Amino acid sequence: MWLTLLYSCTGGAALLYALYRWVIPTAVQYHGGLALIWHDVIVERMLDTLTQSTRPQRLLGAVQKNATRGDPRSVVQAIDQFCRQKEWAMNVGDEKGCILDSVVSEVNPATVLELGTYCGYSTVRIASLLPPHAKLITLEFNPDFAAIARQVIAWAGLEDKVHLVEGASGDWIPKMTEQFGVKTFDLVFLDHWKDRYLPDTMLMEECGLLRKGSILLADNVICPGTPDYLEYVRSSPRYESQYFKSHLEYTKVEDGLEKSVFLG
């Protein structure tokens, strides 16, 4: 009887682990809504409770354990490995990250604004490709995320290239020239709250932070999606836009980046 019960418990535990580790993640790979609910709600809350830590803290631990201090590429690789093998996280990801890299290299910007730092993954990718004396300002609303991002950026050895600012984008965008001496941005990477893409873009226009030729690069324009922003940059005569088809970070769900050139 006890042996049967033991076998049943062991079998049940194995089944639950298989469901958690392989079956459900595979099943949601192609469905954006289900993937986000599973990874960004159910799994995150469960692991937070079990480990008494947060996802950003666990991601930082993976960086400190597996990445070489002062090596940005190893930091990126450690985060990608953590997100693909251990726990999904809402970074731009490896696939779209290559598109981000190519745009940064093409533009070779002297001034960059990143809206939405999260844990610093895309910040590290961008900062590692900037020319000497370039300025990267990254805004993060959540102070807990900002605290982790600072440590990730420092581990990559890029703290001297990055100015991380805590607060709401709507509050800080009008202060850019006064606080940081920036007249215009060569490149803006939008990866924060999706309902802020359009109002923040219009705010940057109003504040004169975009010059002719400034590039806006927006993530997650399909999943979760930014329909109002896409309609605006694709229909406005002030922009020339191009869509780069890809996938939602670490899944097979369609997503992409929208690159929009400000025409003045």
Q: Which position among 80, 194, 200, 259 bears the catalytic label?
A: 194
Cα distance between residue 36 and residue 89, in whole Å:
10
Active site residue 228: no
Q: 3-state secondary structure string, 142-164?
A: CHHHHHHHHHHHHHCCCCCCEEE
Question: Are 262 and 239 spatial neighbours (Cβ–Cβ below 8 Å)?
Answer: yes
The active-site residue, picked from 80, 91, 114, 220, is 220
By CB atoms closer than 10 A (0-12, 13-18, 19+), residue 114 is: buried
Sign of the torsion formed by the C-alpha atoms of 95, 59, 61 and 17: negative
Is 249 an annotated catalytic residue?
yes
Dist CA 236 CA 229 (whole Å): 11
Catalytic residue among 219, 255, 258, 259: 219
Residue 85: which H helix or E strand, with range?
helix 72-85
Spatial contact of 191 and 226, defined as CB atoms under 8 Å apart: no
Rounded Cα distance, 76 and 97, in Å: 10
Please indicate whether residue 220 is annotated as part of the active site: yes
142 is catalytic: no
User: Which listed residue (191, 200, 255, 258) is catalytic?
Assistant: 191
| Nearest C-alpha neighbor of 43 from the set 58, 61, 64, 30 | 58
Look up 161 and say whether it is catalytic: no
Of the candidates 40, 35, 74, the one whose C-alpha atom is nearest the C-alpha of residue 54 is 40
Q: Which residues are catalytic?
A: 191, 194, 219-220, 249
